[in-house]
Structure 1
Amino acid sequence: MSAIVWTAALSLVSWLWLLLCQGFFWRTDVRLPPAAREPADWPDVCVVVPARDEAAVLPESLPSLLAQDYPGRAEVFLVDDGSSDGTGDLARELAERCGGLPLTVSSPGEPPAGWTGKLWAVRHGIACARAREPEFLLLTDADIAHAPDSLRTLVASARAGGYDLVSLMARLRVESLWERLVVPAFVYFFAQLYPFRRIGRRGGRTAAAAGGCVLLRTETAVRARVPDSIRQAVIDDVALARAVKGGGGHIWLGLAERVDSVRPYPRLGDLWRMVSRSAYAQLRHSPLLLAGTVLGLALVYLVPPSALVAGLAAGNAPVAVLGGVAWAVMTATYAPMLRYYRQPLWLAPLLPFTAFLYLLMTVDSAVQHYRGRGAAWKGRTYARPDAVADEG
């Protein structure tokens, strides 16, 4: 058999393994488990919102937090992380105008060496919140809008399931052409790396969270030394989940129904920066892992359509069949995510094109890292953790 036949066969085998043995990652039915009954006593909750230059999205997100229909005591702490666009002042104005839950706005100043800005802000917010002795902390991003019953549902589910951490993958905005092509695939790839069903298993090693919406027990945060123990993490949500699960905590992650990101990514460049800023950090800044990822993406996503076209052009039936079947399996696994995002199914066969974009974004992330511009976000660039340690 020729090399192209073997390659096409290996790609198909890879897709069959992903279909059946990777935690059924392609299914989108992992949703917040409903509580059998609401708690008899609602625990105190403090909401921590790190915000840096978020004036554009705050009018859509912050009022949704202040308007939470929560039976217990709840309070919002917005941490202004060195904003230059009046984020803090706007937050105070929105609180005065909208009413609702009490809001405290504060600023921790610039982060010291070895800290990412977001986690430094989260540390400050948690320190302020702990003075209220809440049972739970809701860590949510400034671009996330919550339905009125969001906090109530999260707390009830955490209490009923005995979870130390409950996280929802907020539904990202999908309006522009590039958002339609890239955003559902972003969540699909994330679920492929971290199958949601495995995350919720006690004793399992798979751990991840979605940083936009994380309900965390305060005592669990203290026990896991969060966020100090993950202060250098660029991908802070996954690091947080690993810290909690590594300490014996029970965690859960699923897709959101009524928790939405209001941040727009209308152009390809916006989405490119979102992915590339952390892609190489996900690979632990390893050239070997980068090479393996590029080869893996090519084998799994690019070989099937290439084999189908090459097989048809050369009259090589085995290659065409192997490539066509692999592409069909890929397309079928992507369809549920498109339905979740209410997108047309004709986008599913275009997944190889989107995967190629992600391949380029990953390579660009490595290039930017070695040029000293890796993990750049809103005017800050973070060094590799071991580089920080060496400097210290």
Structure 2
Amino acid sequence: MGHTARVGAFVWISAGSLAAWLWLLLCQGFFWRTDVRLPPRRDPETWPSVCVVVPARDEADVLPSSLPSLLAQDYPGRAEVFLVDDGSADGTGELARELARRGGLPLTVGSPGEPPAGWTGKLWAVRHGIALARAREPEYLLLTDADIAHTPDSLRTLVAAARTGGFDAVSLMARLRVACGWERLVVPAFVYFFAQLYPFRRVGRRGSRTAAAAGGCVLLRTEAAERARVPDAIRHAVIDDVALARAVKKGGGHIWLGLAERVDSVRPYPRLADLWRMVSRSAYAQLRHNPLLLAGTVAGLALVYLVPPVALTAGLAAGSTATAVLGGAAWLIMAGTYVPMLRYYGLSPWLAPLLPFTAFLYLLMTADSAVQHYRGRGAAWKGRTYARPDTVGEES
């Protein structure tokens, strides 16, 4: 009797997992599709002025692969680059000046000093860069990370898309590096999970409450930034790109987010430990440091990603056809929705069945993020550790 009850319970759990996947497949903004690219655009009659702001902290390793691509932008209007050296100890600022001597767009290197209480280092650097750019009165700001490389036409296509679509912010999810085994296993899933949380189609829809951006590449209309009080209004945000998008949308702005074709990250993550730090430093912040949200997330990840392969295996072993069929169907849908992302990254679709294992790694990373937070080491990045927003005093 007890065995029958256990089998029956697992059938229901497997059915719940399949139902969750059917809902995700059909009702979550078609998040699994990878055809959300820069929308149709046409060149404006007059090209607006743009200032590019690049916050950089200890980026000497990647700067030779990224900064020259910005300086070499083929942009018909007035454009200038402001790199903000955020207390680097590796000669980032000096290297930037050396790279600029080879020609290209004008480059200004600034240094804001240590961030005051209540500010993350990146947003303090962005604030300083925007303040330097304000003297040029640009119509647009391109906020881009120091590890992001752009093709020569990147800036003009971003501006053309923003002008044509009437967008206040246009953001591209940079194509991350997938050169080694761990990168191939973990990186596409990172973008897949992000799109699942923030379906790109919903982000760009007027009236939708879904707001997100990819911090590596955000073209932002200066007027919209001022209206949304960016970055001051989000100065404590660890996940600053999502916070920026919410602030702009709350201020009445129209935003757009999609996958990149002309923007690539050059930062390597050769070891699992590197990828682990990338995810765990902000995972618990994404859950607003809430233990209940953490418990719900762990349970949800287990139901959606771990139950299907376990149900299929256990059902076959126990002779429970219903359990095996339900688990197999859920796993098949899961793998099928992952294939487009693997193809976007030029990887074999045979990696798709491994998604449950990758999801288990993300579950562990999320739990570790919470552990590090309660040990006082949460949201640590390049020598800085940030407190929860509600533990920081407000500026007067």
Q: TM-score range by the shorter chain?
A: over 0.9
Aligned length: 390
**Per-residue deviation, residues 335-357 of structure 1 (Å, max 9, x unmatched):** 00000000011100000000000
Equivalent-residue separation in structure 1 for 2:223 and 2:252 (angstroms) = 13
Equivalent-residue separation in structure 1 for 2:67 and 2:113 (angstroms) = 22
Residues 21/127 of structure 1: CA separation in 2 closer, same or farther (3 Å cut)? same
Matching residue of 1:214:
218
Alignment of 1:91 onto 2:91: no
Q: What is the TM-score when the length of structure 1 is the normalising length?
A: 0.99
Matching residue of 2:374:
370
Alignment of 1:346 onto 2:350: yes
- Could you tell me which runs of 5 or more consecutive residues in structure 2 were left unpaired when the two chains were aligned: none
Which of 296, 301, 305 is residue 297 of structure 1 equivalent to? 301
Equivalent-residue separation in structure 2 for 1:38 and 1:19 (angstroms) = 36
Report the identity percentage. Answer: 85
Residues 391/227 of structure 1: CA separation in 2 closer, same or farther (3 Å cut)? closer
Q: For 1:118-267, what aligned pairs fall within 5 Å after superposition? A: 118-267=122-271
Which of 26, 30, 36 is residue 20 of structure 1 equivalent to? 26
Do 2:117 and 2:393's aligned partners in 1 also have CA atoms closer than 8 Å? no
Alignment of 1:32 onto 2:44: no
Equivalent-residue separation in structure 2 for 1:160 and 1:24 (angstroms) = 24
Aligned-residue offset at 1:179: 0.2
Aligned-residue offset at 1:172: 0.1
Alignment of 1:6 onto 2:12: yes
User: What's the secondary structure of 1:254's corresponding residue?
Assistant: strand
Equivalent-residue separation in structure 1 for 2:26 and 2:291 (angstroms) = 30
Matching residue of 1:326:
330
The code of the aligned residue for 1:8 comes to S
**Per-residue deviation, residues 104-143 of structure 1 (Å, max 9, x unmatched):** 0010000000000000000000000011000000000000
Which of 35, 49, 52 is residue 47 of structure 1 equivalent to? 52
Equivalent-residue separation in structure 2 for 1:130 and 1:151 (angstroms) = 19
- Could you tell me which runs of 5 or more consecutive residues in structure 1 were left unpaired when the two chains were aligned: none
User: What's the secondary structure of 1:343's corresponding residue?
Assistant: coil
Which of 359, 365, 369 is residue 363 of structure 2 equivalent to? 359
Equivalent-residue separation in structure 2 for 1:140 and 1:308 (angstroms) = 44
Q: What is the TM-score when the length of structure 2 is the normalising length?
A: 0.98
Equivalent-residue separation in structure 2 for 1:32 and 1:333 (angstroms) = 22
After superposition, the CA RMSD in angstroms is 1.0
User: What's the secondary structure of 2:142's corresponding residue?
Assistant: strand
Aligned-residue offset at 1:390: 8.7
Equivalent-residue separation in structure 2 for 1:344 and 1:267 (angstroms) = 20
Aligned-residue offset at 1:388: 1.0
User: What's the secondary structure of 2:302's corresponding residue?
Assistant: helix
The code of the aligned residue for 2:75 comes to Y
The code of the aligned residue for 2:365 comes to M
Equivalent-residue separation in structure 1 for 2:161 and 2:47 (angstroms) = 12
Equivalent-residue separation in structure 1 for 2:85 and 2:185 (angstroms) = 33
User: What's the secondary structure of 1:258's corresponding residue?
Assistant: strand
